[in-house]
Amino acid sequence: MRRETVLIIGFGLAYAAFAALVTHSYYQLILTVVPIWAVMGLAWNLLSGYSGFVSFGHAAFFGLGAYFVALAQIGWNLSPWLGIPAAGVVGALAGLIVGIPTFRLRGHYFALAMLAYPLALMYVFEWLGYQELTLPMRRDAALQFMQFEDHRIYTWLAAGLMVLAMLLTGRVERSRFGLSLIAIKEDEAAAEAAGVRTLHWKLLAITLSGAMAGVAGGLYAVVLLVVTPPAVFGMLVSAQALIVAMFGGAATVWGPVLGALVLVPLSEFLHAQLADKIPGIQGVVYGLAIIAVILLAPEGVVWKWRAYRRKRARAAPAPAAASPVSPAAAAQRASGPERPVIFEARQLSKSFGGLKAVRDVTLQVRQGEILGIIGPNGAGKTTLFNLLNGFLRPDGGEVVLDGRSIAGSAPDRVCAAGIGRTFQVARPFRRMSMLDNVMIGAFLHEPSAAAARAVALDALAQVGLAEHAQRLADGLTNKQLRLLEIARALAGKPRILLLDETMAGLTGAEVEELITLIRALAASGLTIVIIEHTMQAMVRLVDRFVVLDDGAVLAEGEPARITQDPAVIDAYLGRKWRMANA
């Protein structure tokens, strides 16, 4: 068993053992409620903590679970032993139904839409006449209906669920699923470009998350025996799930549990002591807790602790900066104009407002060549790449791969079809290790984490970053960032690699290293399209140039010819230069 699994089960047993010692019924209730909120926090965390899509509406799933269990027992005499798992199914379905339309939204809109679901449900349930639903007493079949004399059994059940939720979260975290969610949080567009099917993973996350919240709600109904719309659909329910998770640390297994362990007893205790004097004390505690977290430690307690440990561990000097393993001297690649065209743009156009960023661009990419696309700032180079990899839908024209039009395909589809890319401003997943960054790319063809890890390590070795595999992608040098992006793209086993200003801002020596690397990649059979602002290094790298200016193709041809082309010199150095140096 993994160490973490042992720890989680050990923690669950310790909690259950502690609960066995407490007999006072009020404290017993608090001990039962803590794991229920921990499960709610874990449910929120699974979606919002990992994927970064912050939900303000988890009460919707919780409330549906609670009402389902209550109504099923009242109406169909259904035992909670069946009702609670079924509440999970209800929560999962609700998650899926909410997710399909709502994931079309980003940021603010997503958060607002999620806020509306539970509030709308609250009014609907009030209207249906379920202002206060009491679970019928079944002394005759106490065991069957979970109506235990000994309240400690509820605590044990809740603790068991908490352990299950933690184990599930831990599994997700280590899998392709979890890494993909984190990549979405870090940079959704970059994840798509690396082949991550973002919608697929987000829907899976909200479905699972809804299931967990539904189960938590179901158990809540059984424990408290009374269900009211504000108590299960209210704002405080959603807020509490979010706050315990963020307080402890989002995107961790232990964070939501830690948050629940601290905040739930605190607010319950204060509520019991002061409720008659200060009626809103619970809400104030949660409000102040989340304000403090955001201002003082937005990453939460667990991450703060990890950073502290890492700091202490970093007494040892950081590993020296590596230079890329110089690949065997780039073989002279067979050149010749008759290599087949595998990728082309046909009369591509794109406008933003009144600005024509790309107009009628036609170009062909031949198998195994290095094609350089150059042009002054604002010439439309990056827009062209965004059209080629599916970030943008062209206003007109076609993108053709192997004779098939792919214009309008989503970026992850384009990536899966064999087109990898890097970005002008490097877009690593900053809070993931380099290895995890590259694994995201590797998952495209290797669904299992172990196989993806092997592919990722290979890709890192190929660019010379192997010894840094475990380092966080944050705080890398410019060169390392560029290499990391190349490795991430390589891990998806592309046939064509689009490099966007990979050499910008690098020193002369670093540029030489990159040229060697890119040549080696081309020698291994990869087709490369590279954008660059200047021709300096490019003339020694590329087989052919396409020059863009003002959104259109200005010239095309071999480096020697392009650098003498008067139109190109005008665009770059200005007409005055050509005349002065004629």
Partner 1 sequence: MCAVLAFERAPGLIMDLPQFLENFLQALTAGLLTGAIYGLVCVGLSLIFGVMRVINFAHGDFMMLGMYVAFYAFGMLAAVPLFGEWLSPYLAALFAGPVIFVAGMLVHKLLVSRVTGMRASALASEGHYAQLILTLGIALVLQNGALYLFGSAPVSIQTPLASTAWLVGPLHGERVEIFVNQGQSIAALIALAVVLVFVAVMNRTRLGKALRAAADNPVAAVYMGIDVARAHRLAFGLGVAITAIGGGLLASSISFQPYVGLEYVIVMYAGVVLGGLGSVPGAFLGGLTIGLVQQLSTLFLPNQLQNAAIFVMFLVIVLLRPQGLFGTAARRT
Partner 2 sequence: MLELRGVCADYGGVPALKEVSFGVGQGELTAIVGPNGAGKSTLFKTISGVVPVSAGSIRFEGRELTGVPAAQRAHLGIAHVPEGRQVFPSLTVLENLEMGAYTQPGQRAWRANIERIYNWFPVLATRAKSLAGSLSGGQQQMLAIARGLASSPKLLMLDEPSMGLAPSIADEIFERIVSIHGQSGLTVLLVEQRVAEALHFAKRGYVLEAGSVVLSGSHDELMRDDRIRQAYLGM
Give residue 219's identity as a one-letter amino acid code.
L
Among 78, 111, 454, 569, binds partner 1 (CB under 8 A): 111
For residue 315, what are the CA distances in angstroms to 318, 319, 432, 476? 9, 12, 22, 19
Place of tokens 């979260």: 169
**Which of the choices partner 2, partner 1, none does residue 329 contact, using the CB cut-off of 5 to 8 A by kind?**
none
> What's the angle, vertex CA 385, arms to CA 381 and CA 388, rounded to 5?
140
Contact between 428 and 435 (Cβ < 8 Å): no
DSSP string covering 7-38, please?
HHHHHHHHHHHHHHH---HHHHHHHHHHHHHH
- Residue 346's contacts (CB-CB under 8 Å, 6 or more residues apart) are 362, 397, 398, 399, 400
**Which of the choices partner 1, partner 2, none does residue 291 contact, using the CB cut-off of 5 to 8 A by kind?**
partner 1
Place of tokens 């087989």: 543
Contact between 216 and 210 (Cβ < 8 Å): no
**Which of the choices partner 2, partner 1, none does residue 283 contact, using the CB cut-off of 5 to 8 A by kind?**
partner 1
235 near partner 1 (CB under 8 A): yes
**Which of the choices partner 2, partner 1, none does residue 573 contact, using the CB cut-off of 5 to 8 A by kind?**
partner 2
**Which of the choices partner 2, partner 1, none does residue 550 contact, using the CB cut-off of 5 to 8 A by kind?**
partner 2
> Which CB atom, from 212 or from 538, has the smaller least distance to partner 2?
538
Extract the tokens encoding 448: 């299992």
262 near partner 1 (CB under 8 A): no
Nearest distance, CB of residue 551 and partner 2, angstroms? 8
**Which of the choices partner 1, partner 2, none does residue 513 contact, using the CB cut-off of 5 to 8 A by kind?**
none
Nearest distance, CB of residue 114 and partner 2, angstroms? 29
DSSP H helical segments within 249-296, as ranges? Answer: 255-274, 281-296
Extract the tokens encoding 357: 């960023």
Nearest distance, CB of residue 279 and partner 2, angstroms? 45
Only segment of 22-30, 69-77, 289-297, 395-403 that touches partner 1 (CB under 8 A): 289-297
14 near partner 1 (CB under 8 A): no
Place of tokens 């966007």: 500
561 near partner 1 (CB under 8 A): no
Give residue 297's identity as a one-letter amino acid code.
A
**Which of the choices partner 1, partner 2, none does residue 123 contact, using the CB cut-off of 5 to 8 A by kind?**
partner 1
Extract the tokens encoding 3: 């160490």
Q: Under rule CB under 8 A, which residues in 451-490 are in contact with partner 2?
A: 474-475, 477-478, 481
Contact between 57 and 238 (Cβ < 8 Å): yes
Nearest distance, CB of residue 350 and partner 2, angstroms? 13
Contact between 385 and 401 (Cβ < 8 Å): no
536 near partner 2 (CB under 8 A): yes
Only segment of 157-165, 282-290, 389-397, 538-546 that touches partner 2 (CB under 8 A): 538-546
> What's the angle, vertex CA 292, arms to CA 287 and CA 294, rounded to 5?
95
Give the separation between CA 243 and CA 219, rounded to whole angstroms.
20
127 near partner 1 (CB under 8 A): yes
The count of residues interacting with partner 2 (CB under 8 A) is: 43
225 near partner 2 (CB under 8 A): no
Look at strands 544-549 and 370-374 and give their pairing. parallel
Among 153, 189, 236, 410, binds partner 1 (CB under 8 A): 236
Nearest partner of 193 among 529, 422, 436, judged by Cα:
422
Give the separation between CA 442 and CA 178, rounded to whole angstroms.
14
Only segment of 4-12, 286-294, 353-361, 455-463 that touches partner 2 (CB under 8 A): 353-361
Nearest distance, CB of residue 460 and partner 2, angstroms? 20
540 near partner 2 (CB under 8 A): yes
Nearest distance, CB of residue 568 and partner 2, angstroms? 8
> Which CB atom, from 188 or from 467, has the smaller least distance to partner 1?
188
Nearest distance, CB of residue 52 and partner 1, angstroms? 6
String of contacts with partner 2 for each residue 358-397, x by CB under 8 A: ------------------xxxx------------------
189 near partner 2 (CB under 8 A): no
457 near partner 1 (CB under 8 A): no
String of contacts with partner 1 for each residue 186-225, x by CB under 8 A: x---------------------------------------
Nearest partner of 53 among 151, 160, 153, 199, judged by Cα:
199
181 near partner 1 (CB under 8 A): no
Give residue 188's identity as a one-letter amino acid code.
E
**HSE, side-chain direction, 13 A CA sphere, residue 510:** 15
**Which of the choices partner 2, partner 1, none does residue 101 contact, using the CB cut-off of 5 to 8 A by kind?**
partner 1
136 near partner 1 (CB under 8 A): no
561 near partner 2 (CB under 8 A): no
Give residue 105's identity as a one-letter amino acid code.
L
DSSP string covering 66-115, please?
HHHHHHHHHHH---HHHHHHHHHHHHHHHHHHHHHHHTT--HHHHHHHHH
DSSP string covering 316-332, please?
SPPPPPP-----S-PPP
Taking only Cα atoms into account, the Rg of the chain, rounded to an integer number of angstroms, comes to: 29
- Residue 414's contacts (CB-CB under 8 Å, 6 or more residues apart) are 388, 389, 390, 406
278 near partner 1 (CB under 8 A): yes
504 near partner 2 (CB under 8 A): yes
> Which CB atom, from 378 or from 408, has the smaller least distance to partner 2?
378
Give the separation between CA 494 and CA 489, rounded to whole angstroms.
7
Query: Interface residues with partner 1 (CB under 8 A)?
Result: 52, 54, 56, 101-102, 104-105, 107-109, 111-113, 115-117, 119-120, 123-124, 126-127, 185-186, 235-236, 239, 242-243, 246, 278-284, 286-291, 294-295, 298
Query: Interface residues with partner 2 (CB under 8 A)?
Result: 353-355, 376-379, 425, 474-475, 477-478, 481, 501, 504-508, 533-540, 549-550, 559, 563, 569-578, 580-581
